[in-house]
């Protein structure tokens, strides 16, 4: 068998060698006329003479598979597991390959702390004081927050009562309101939701968004921040709700965060308002700013998610659902981002806020001009409150002045 392998492995060439008739050390080569016939004869003899062993069969199978299957270039940025079954030679034969659907990127939701954050001292007193102040204040979030969006809609034609499409639309309106609220004041968001509902025919529903053109949605929400991107998010979210969730708002944080333009804060608030589920704290810029000003974190937190996991580790769970609404209104009216009204805040007087700013007192100086003669007056700085500004003129009577006055050259003022 070894001899047969050596025979078959001998390479055939199209040139025939023969010795030169002129010199014994020279070999001449000329083309073979019957090269193809010799190759066929050689192959026929080798196949009849040898029987391939197990290792040769495997080697041949591998080489045959490599030759039969054309090489396919993997598309850049596409993971192999995203390619559907059948994406092989049939797709390569066509000039245009359909792009595989991209899976929606799952947003990471921070988990709970392994070691709970220390409970801040006097947090309960500060919380009660804020709650008392909020009871006397009507903030924008109280009348134009996401919880109010669900009550602005009307039952459109074709919707049935009870726990039907009307309540599904209410949940969808809450979600859309939260999607529009990022980087936007509540007054602008509330107006945009109302205008969008009117543009869609009176009902803010998944189907109405799918049927509407992007231009109609963009025009309705043009006053909110990043309105172009939010237009795409609303359209994509409506499509995903229609395809994956029976046109309703999902009931888990993970499913909500899989929607375009929806993050953890929106997910927690949606579950609280739309489904009455208390599964976490919705932390926005107000909650993040105020809790850091109050010193409720051992080290200042860098982002809302870090703030959330800290708060959830020590704040009683029955307060998780109300703290967002409480602190947002407090931040909109008193604890402002720039120029907080510490003079109107009872936390300052009670010493419960380490970031309280005391009113700056400025001492002004006034000048009193004292004339001691005919020269320029001498100015002396005196502290404010020492008395009104006074100008004293002291003139010494001279004999020549008396003579001029008597002669009528100088008129005496009465």
- Cα–Cα separations (whole angstroms), residue 149 to 160, 169, 170, 190, 326: 20, 10, 8, 7, 18
Distance CA(71)–CA(89), nearest Å, equals: 9
Opening angle at CA 150, ends 221 and 264, nearest 5: 75
Catalytic residue (one of 103, 185, 195, 265) = 265
Residues 350, 353, 354, 359, CA torsion sign: negative
**Non-local CB neighbours of 210 within 8 Å, separated by 6+ positions:** 235, 238, 239, 242
Whether residue 266 contacts residue 256, with contact meaning beta carbons closer than 8 Å, is answered with yes
**Residue 183 DSSP SS3:** coil
- What is the rounded radius of gyration, in angstroms, for the C-alpha atoms of the chain? 44
Whether residue 405 contacts residue 414, with contact meaning beta carbons closer than 8 Å, is answered with no
- Nearest residue to 214 (alpha-carbon basis) of 235, 242, 193, 196: 235
Q: Is 265 one of the catalytic residues?
A: yes
| Phi (first) and psi of residue 290, to 5 degrees | -70, -45
- Nearest residue to 294 (alpha-carbon basis) of 123, 78, 409: 123
Catalytically active residues are 265
């Amino acid at each position: 068998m070894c001899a047969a392998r050596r025979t078959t492995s001998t390479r055939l060439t199209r040139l025939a060698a023969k010795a030169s008739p002129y010199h014994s050390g020279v070999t001449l080569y000329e083309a073979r006329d019957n090269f193809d016939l010799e190759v066929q004869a050689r192959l026929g003899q080798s196949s009849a003479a040898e029987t391939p062993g197990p290792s040769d069969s495997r080697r041949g199978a591998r080489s045959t598979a490599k030759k039969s299957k054309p090489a396919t270039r993997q598309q850049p940025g596409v993971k192999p597991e995203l390619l559907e079954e059948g994406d092989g030679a049939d797709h390569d034969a066509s000039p245009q390959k359909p792009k595989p659907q991209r899976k929606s990127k799952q947003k990471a939701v921070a988990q709970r702390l392994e070691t709970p954050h220390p409970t801040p001292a006097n947090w309960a007193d500060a919380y009660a004081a804020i709650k008392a102040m909020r009871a006397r204040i009507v903030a924008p979030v109280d009348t134009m927050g996401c919880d109010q969006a669900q009550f602005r809609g009307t039952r459109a034609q074709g919707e049935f009562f009870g726990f039907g499409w009307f309540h599904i639309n209410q949940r969808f309106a809450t979600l859309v309101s939260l999607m529009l609220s990022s980087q936007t004041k509540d007054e602008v968001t509330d107006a945009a939701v109302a205008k969008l509902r009117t543009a869609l025919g009176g009902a803010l529903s998944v189907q109405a968004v799918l049927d509407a053109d992007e231009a109609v949605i963009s025009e309705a929400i043009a006053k909110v921040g990043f309105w172009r991107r939010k237009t795409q998010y609303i359209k994509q979210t409506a499509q995903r709700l229609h395809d994956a969730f029976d046109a309703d708002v999902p009931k888990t944080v993970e499913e909500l965060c899989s929607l375009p333009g929806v993050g953890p804060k929106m997910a927690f608030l949606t579950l609280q308002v739309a489904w009455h589920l208390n599964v976490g704290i919705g932390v926005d810029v107000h909650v993040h700013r105020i809790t850091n000003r109050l010193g409720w974190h051992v080290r200042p937190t860098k982002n809302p998610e870090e703030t959330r996991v800290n708060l959830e580790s020590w704040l009683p769970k029955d307060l998780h659902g109300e703290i967002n609404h409480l602190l947002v209104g407090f931040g909109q009216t008193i604890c402002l981002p720039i120029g907080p009204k510490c003079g109107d805040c009872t936390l300052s007087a009670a010493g419960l806020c380490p970031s309280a700013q005391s009113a700056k007192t400025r001492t002004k100086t006034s000048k009193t001009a004292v004339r001691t003669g005919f020269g320029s007056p001498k100015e002396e700085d005196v502290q404010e409150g020492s008395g009104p500004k006074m100008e004293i003129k002291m003139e010494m009577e001279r004999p020549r002045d008396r003579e001029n006055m008597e002669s009528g050259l100088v008129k005496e003022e009465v």
